[in-house]
Amino acid sequence: MSTTTIKVSNETKQLLDMLQAKMTLTFRKKKTLTELIDTITRLALRHENELMEAEKLPPLEKDPAMKPPIDWGIKTDASKVDEYIYTEE
């Protein structure tokens, strides 16, 4: 088996550490980071089509669904939402 060193961002390292911890709690056995990367790679290859589609999506910060809601300047009372929705006029 040959190994290669890869560099990842601090954020990615934290995410990998969290995933490693969750797997350790779930399976009561610690996986090494190498085993974790092997598992992730095999899973990604099994779902290759979904992975390729995800690359076509815009980044989350550009996703219109992630933009803050528009303030229409109308004051509403959230406690009356059911009344507004379900009351027939």
82 inside domain: no
| Side chain identity, residue 76 | T
CA 73 to CA 76: how far, in whole Å? 10
Domain count for the chain: 1
44 inside domain: yes
User: Domain of 21?
Assistant: 8-57
pLDDT at 80: 73
pLDDT at 85: 73
Model-level pTM? 0.54
70 inside domain: no
28 inside domain: yes
Cα 60 to Cα 1, 5, 35, 53, distances in angstroms = 37, 29, 29, 14
**pLDDT for 11-35, tens place per residue?**
899 999 999 999 999 989 998 999 9
Q: Which stretches of the chain score pLDDT less than 50? A: none
83 inside domain: no
49 inside domain: yes
pLDDT at 39: 93
